Each structure stands twice: as C-alpha cells, then as structure tokens.
Chains A and B, each alone.
Chain A
Amino acid sequence: MVRQDEPSTPVERMDGHELAEVSPQHPMDRLLRRDRLPHIWCPGCGLGTALNCFLNALIQSGLDPDQVAVVSGIGCTGRVAGYVAMDSFHTTHGRAIPFATGLKLANPKLKVVVFSGDGDLIAIGGNHFIHAARRNMDLTVICVNNFIYGMTGGQLAPTTPTDARTSTSPTGNRDHPFNLAYLAAASGAAYVARWTTLHVRRLQRSLCEALLKPGFSFVEVISPCPTLYGRWNKQRSGLEQMQYYKDQSVIEHGADPRQADITLGGQIVVGKFVDIAKPSYLELQKG
C-alpha cells in the first residue's frame, strides 16, 4: 500500500481486494499484539519475514521478552514497534537510536532493539547511527533495507542503487548509495551481518547472535518492496524480487564489507562480516 499515513485497521488494499481473514492463531501470538492485527504491510513485502525471524531469534536467544524493548523510527519498518507485545516505542523520524540509547542507559538490564528502515536510520538518522556504532553502544540495530521510501510512496533513499528508478529519480538515480554494512563496520560496530529475507534461517541465526552480542550489533535485512521499489524497477511481485535475491546473492562470511557494495543488477554479498570483541559502551563505563 502506498500511504502517507494510514488507518490502524485498513479496510481495503490498493488493488481493491478485501483483506484476508486473520487466522485464529499464530505461533508467535504471545509476542504479537493481536489486537493490532492485521498489519498494514503489502502482500509480498519482506517486513513480515523480517519480523518473524526477529521473534524466532528472540525466543532462541532465551532473553526474557519482558526485559526487551523495541524502538522504531518512522516508515513501513517503523511500524514494527506497534506489533510486538513488548515495551515498544515508535519515535520520530530518524531518532530511534538516540531514544534507545537513553532507554538503555537508564535501565541497562533491558535488551534494547532498534528496528527501522534504511531511510529512517541512515538518511535522517545517519548521524545517530554512526555515533552509536562509534560508541559501541549496547544496542541491536536491525535495518530493513528495501532501497526506497515506502511509507511516503516510493522516493529515493540513501541506499537506492545508482540508476535505479524511484518516484523522485524517475529516469534513474544519478547518485551514489551507502553501503550500510561498510558504514556500520567503519563506524565501529562490534557485529555486522547482512542477509536477504530469502535467507530465513541464516538471518535468524545472525539476529540471535546480534541479540546476545554486547555492544553495537547491526543486521541489515535486504527486503522486497514489490509495491514501490519493485514497481519502479521491473520486479512487480515479491516473488520476482525474491528470485532476484536468490540469483544475485553470494554468501561470503568474513567478506570485507568494502567489497560488498550493492549495485543495480550486481551481486549481493551476504553473510556475517564483522564479529569482534571490543569493550561495549557500558563495559567502558565500568572503568
């Protein structure tokens, strides 16, 4: 769905179909706010998979969900905070990380997870992102990267590959994108991984590792946005985008993130790039 801002219970999809009935039970029910479902995401969107992997990873990690807080910014991914049955904060655009920083430092017993999109975390929130990574702040940051602004209708993002089309680069992007994994690693993150939503089990494993890693852990989740990125770039369905990820992705653990740029039509290097031991912010405070 293309939307500026939407009702909490949308009645109709953009294509005019009625929404599917909500199934009476889901294995993740205890971690979801059932009274907020159905969610607002489009069919074929990768966000459901990303959220599902996160919840599975959370269970696997053994962390007590009552001591986990999820903080989001604004955008399609920003809505994650609204669906999890945990303490959850939907903050302003780009500001999830500093909000999460305050939350974590005021109550270090909490596991604080930032779950947001590429535009939110890296464009308007870019300064906060690099500084939290520099501090090795004790946060897990999950960035769903769909290469576009979804919530506002498909505009150019700082991740949009050169030549890719969006509503504000209708003839192709004439700009360089960020390589998020490289940015996180260069800024000081202790843990950096990248997967697509096709790599469900590997993504889940990385998310679990990230949740248990002291310091700044970063997981980039490449995710289809068929409604907007797909429509502008000749991959009209979620399935086509997943097929593209399958064809293009190469697993390369320990790869140098500098070599992992994402280009239009090029290889997508995925894997765990960084997992280093260095004192986290909280550890440093102990002196």
Chain B
Amino acid sequence: MTTTGALQGEYFISGDEACAEAGISAGCRFFAGYPITPATEIAERMAERMPDVGGVYIQMEDELASMNAVLGAAWGGAKAMTATSGPGFSLMMENLGLGIMTETPCVLVNVQRGGPSTGLPTLVGQGDMMQARWGSHGPYEIIALCPSSPQEMFDLTIEAFNLSEKYRTPVLLMADEAVGHMTERVTIPPVESLKLYPRRKPTVPPEQYRPFEGEANGVPAMACAGEGYHLHVTGLTHDERGYPATSSADAQARLIRRLIAKIRDNRADIIRTESKWLEDAEVIVVAYGISARIALWPIEMARAEGLRVGWLKLITAWPFAEDLIRELAARVKAFVVPEINYGQIALEVERCAAGKARTLLVPHAGGDVHEPHVILEAIRGAAGR
C-alpha cells in the first residue's frame, strides 16, 4: 500500500474488488450503498478500505437513499460512487435523473444479473442496457461503460470517474455478474501514474459565477457547498444561475439542448471501442462486457474455417458508437450481436446499419454466457454458409 492508501502492484482479485480499488485510486472518498448480489463485494471492499484513506462508507436504507447520498456527497466536494444490481438499479433511476439534471459528477456501478424483477441474483445478465440509456424519465444523454474483465473493472472505473468530472454528469459502469465475480490478475498502477481529471472549479467571484452555464465543451465549472458561492441546485428546469424557470419552454430548450449537446458533441472524445480483424471482415460480431470476451472464441473458430469475421467490442455502450457502425455497415454483409438479453444493443446496431447490412441477434435469457457454438452458428449463417 502507498502513502495515499491506494494499492499498487499485481493482485489476484475479483472484478468487484478491482472496481472498489479503482474508486480509491481515482480519489473516490465517499461510497453509499445497499447490499445486493452480485455487487455486494464492492460495498464490502469499500467498507474495509475507506477508513484507510480517510473516506466515508455508509450503508443506506435502500438504493433511493444511496443514490441521493452520492449526489449530496458530490456537492459536498467528494468524488462519490455507489454500486448495485438490477432491482437496486431500478430504484436508482429516479435520482440518476436528478444527477443528470443538476450535472453532478458521480459513478454508479451496475453489476448486472438475470432479470426482470428479483430474477437470478447470483447469475449473469445483460438486460439493463436500455434501462441504462432510458431508465430515468425525460430526454437526456448518458455515458455508460462496459468492462469485460477484472482489469477493465479497474481501468474503466478510473475512466468513469474521469468522464464524470470532465462532463459533470453521472457515469454508469455497466458490468455483469460474470465480470464482477471473475477473479483474475489485475495490475494496479501507482496513483501518481494515473491520469485523473480534477473537478473544474470556478475562477470567477461568486457574483459572477453561473453554475449552469456551459463553458468549455458545454460543461460548467462546479463550485461545491461551503465555498461561499451560495449555490442553488434544483431538479426543476432552471436557468444558468440555477433558478427554477418552470414556465418557459425556452429555458427548457436551452437547458436540455446543452445537457444533450455536452455528451453528443463530444462523443468522439467519449466513445471507446476495441477491435480485431475489421479490415477484411464481411461479418462483424459486435459485443460488450462478458459477451465480448466469449465472442472471441467462436470468431477464431470461424476464421479458422476461412470465414472473414471481425470483432468489435463496445467499451462505451452509451453514447452509442453510431458513426463507426454506419461506416462499417457500408462495407460488411452483416453484424452478429450476442447479448444476454432479448435484443437491446442489437436494436441500436440495426438502427445504425440502416438496412445496409443485416443485424443478427444472438439472444440469451440469462443465467449463463453464450455457448460458443451458438455464436459460431450465427456467424456461419450471417456469412451465408
């Protein structure tokens, strides 16, 4: 352990533990949560580790409270996070909206399990991807990252904190049970070597500060409580001062356009993908999370059969990599989308392919990952074999 309390070195830990350690390395000093399988290990690790680093762990009465406590802590000046799974994620939707509306940086981890409802608490699912996109009411944009390994649970948690500070918005880490519970070697770099995006503070005196006026990239600087700025922060539609402006469609348009634009216009900076064999591909398997990792095996089998198959891993599920899918659709025959649900990200792929390439969903109800041969069959079908 280093003097900052963050770990450094090689560890054999689970994805959930790696996520908690990444929070600590990223400077997260507030964790509020409620026990839920398969995300509980994140809370347990935080409960153990927060005292080492002078941070706060609090177990709240439910996930509504957890999400709110995280927002409050962010306005109190802390980097803050929570972690949950399906049923808790549903409860967090209400105040995810408050976080988006009030432009509150924070990280919300969903270790997805099989659903709907209580579903399969201990087994994998990827059925919350559209909920991540649209689960809170009203028009908004969201950032969601999908780790495929314990190492990525670490790396993308750091990334999630950075994006949340850079764009002043809650960021979702959409993990899944397989990745959360998988134990592997995780390299934790020294804190000093991490690029951490600091909270951008106002440089003007309180009289001139407008906490909801977009500056660079449409993102306002953020003062916190107790800094003398006399902030007013509301979930109502508000003007640049933060004052309610609920009788004006103009104020609504100004606010919503900026909230959407600060993500959409910066998507080139936000979106991350990883790929293999795209150059010669006539079929591309598009996947994320554990499914992206599973897909590599059938792709290699298909390539051994002489099929020209590529692999596109969506590290960022939201905003969706639509420019890339459009571009690829113009030159491939088909996309194959294995996901542990009955068609969510596949719908986005299909939308962006816009009829130029076919989209084949490989659904899975949850509880397990895809059998490689099922994906292989889909690839063969897509390639016309």
Q: Is the CB of B68 within 8 A of A99?
A: yes
How far is B75's CA from A107's CA once the two chains are assembled, in angstroms?
9
C-alpha spacing A98/B30, complex, angstroms: 13
Residue A92 contacts which of B60, B95, B226, B243 (CB distance < 8 angstroms)? B95
Give B12-41 interface residues, CB cut-off 8 Å to A: 29-30, 32
| Bound Cα distance from A128 to B230, whole angstroms | 26
B230 x A86 contact (CB < 8 A): yes
Whether the pair A90, B226 counts as a contact (CB closer than 8 A) is no
Q: Of B69, B231, B236, B244, which is within 8 A of A98 by CB? A: B69
Chain A residues within 8 Å of B29, by CB? 106
**Contact of A98 with B226 at beta-carbon distance under 8 Å, contacts A82-B243, A90-B236 already known:** no
A97 CA to B62 CA, complexed, in Å: 13
Contact present for A102 and B32 (CB under 8 Å): yes
Q: How far is the CB of B224 from chain A (nearest CB, A)?
A: 7
A166 to B196, CA, bound (A): 54
Indicate whether B363 reaches chain A with its CB closer than 8 angstroms.
no
User: Quick check: B68 and A107 within 8 Å, CB to CB?
Assistant: no
Of A66, A94, A106, A128, which is within 8 A of B80 by CB?
A106
Task: Report the separation of the CA atoms of residues A100 and B233 in the bound assembly, to the nearest whole angstrom.
Answer: 13
B residues near A101, Cβ cutoff 8 Å: 32, 58, 60, 65, 68-69, 72
Q: Are A85 and B230 in contact (CB under 8 A)?
A: yes
Mark interface residues in B217-239 (1 if CB within 8 Å of A CB, else 0): 00000001110111111111000
- Chain A: interface residue total (CB-CB under 8 A): 39
Instruction: Determine which of B30, B74, B233 lies in contact with A88 in the assembled complex, contact meaning CB atoms within 8 Å.
Output: B233
A7 CB contact (under 8 Å) in B78, B226, B246: B246
- Contact across chains for A33 and B232 when beta carbons are under 8 A apart: yes
Q: A85-B230, A87-B225, A95-B64 are in contact. Are A107 and B95 (CB under 8 A)?
A: no
Q: Does A15 contact B (CB under 8 A)?
A: no
- Return chain B residues, CB-CB under 8 Å to A107: 76-78, 224-226
Contacts of B283 in A (CB 8 A): none
A89 touches B247 (CB 8 A): no
Which parts of B45-84 form the interface with A (CB within 8 Å)? 56, 58, 60-62, 64-66, 68-78, 80
Instruction: Please give me the residue from chain B that is nearest to A8 by CB atom.
Output: B244
Contact B65 A131 (CB under 8 A): yes
Contact partner of B232 among A90, A102, A103, A128, CB < 8 A?
A: A90
Q: Does A71 contact B (CB under 8 A)?
A: yes
Contact B244 A105 (CB under 8 A): no
A128 touches B235 (CB 8 A): no
Verify if A269 is at the interface (C-beta below 8 Å from B): no
Q: Are A100 and B72 in contact, with the CB atoms below 8 A?
A: yes
- Say whether A102 contacts B62, CB under 8 Å: no
Set of chain A residues within 8 Å of B69, measured between Cβ atoms: 98-99, 101-102, 105
Which of B62, B65, B95, B244 has the most CB atoms of chain A within a 10 A radius of its CB?
B65
Nearest-CB residue, chain A, relative to B251 = A8
Q: Quick check: A5 and B32 within 8 Å, CB to CB? A: no
Which of B70, B243, B247 sits near A102, CB closer than 8 Å? B70
Does residue B374 face the partner (Cβ distance < 8 Å to A)? no
B72 touches A8 (CB 8 A): no
| B247 and A7 form a contact (CB under 8 A) | yes
Provide the residues of chain A in CB contact with B30, threshold 8 Å: 102, 105-106
Are A92 and B245 CB-contacts (below 8 A) given A103-B225, A110-B226? no
Cβ proximity bits A93-125 to B, threshold 8 Å, 1 near / 0 not: 011011111111111011000000000000000
Q: Taking each of A81, A91, A99, which has the highest tally of chain B beta carbons within 10 Å of its own beta carbon?
A: A99
Q: Is A95 touching B65 in the complex (CB atoms < 8 A)? A: yes
Residue of A nearest to B58 (CB): A105
**Nearest chain B CB to A223's CB is how many angstroms away?**
22
Asked whether A69 lies within 8 Å of B225 as measured between CB atoms, the reply is: yes
Given the contacts A103-B72, A106-B56, A131-B61, A95 and B95 also touching, CB distance less than 8 Å? yes
Taking CB as reference atom, which chain B residue is nearest A96?
B68
Query: With the chains together, A90 CA to B242 CA distance in Å?
Result: 10
B94 within 8 A of A: yes
B232→A98 contact, CB < 8 A? no
Q: Across the interface, do A128 and B65 meet the contact criterion of CB distance under 8 Å?
A: yes
Q: Are A82 and B72 in contact (CB under 8 A)?
A: no
Q: Which residues of B contact A90 (CB under 8 A)?
A: 232-236, 244
* Pair B246/A6 contact, Cβ less than 8 Å: yes
Chain A minimum-CB-distance residue to B72: A102
Give Cα A5–Cα B234 distance, bound, in whole angstroms: 13
Quick one: given A103-B72, A107-B77, A110-B76, are A82 and B232 in contact (CB under 8 Å)? yes
The CA of A6 and the CA of B69, in the complex, are separated in Å by 28
Given A66-B228, A82-B243, list of 19 further CB < 8 A pairs?
A7-B247, A8-B244, A8-B246, A33-B230, A90-B236, A90-B244, A91-B71, A95-B95, A95-B98, A97-B65, A98-B69, A99-B71, A101-B68, A102-B68, A102-B74, A102-B75, A103-B225, A105-B73, A128-B64
Closest 4 CB pairs of A and B: A102-B72, A106-B76, A7-B247, A102-B69
Task: Provide a sorted-by-A list of 21 A–B residue pairs whose CB atoms are within 8 angstroms.
Answer: A5-B236, A6-B246, A8-B244, A67-B226, A69-B225, A85-B230, A92-B94, A92-B95, A95-B64, A95-B98, A98-B64, A100-B72, A101-B72, A102-B71, A103-B72, A103-B76, A105-B73, A106-B30, A106-B76, A107-B76, A107-B225
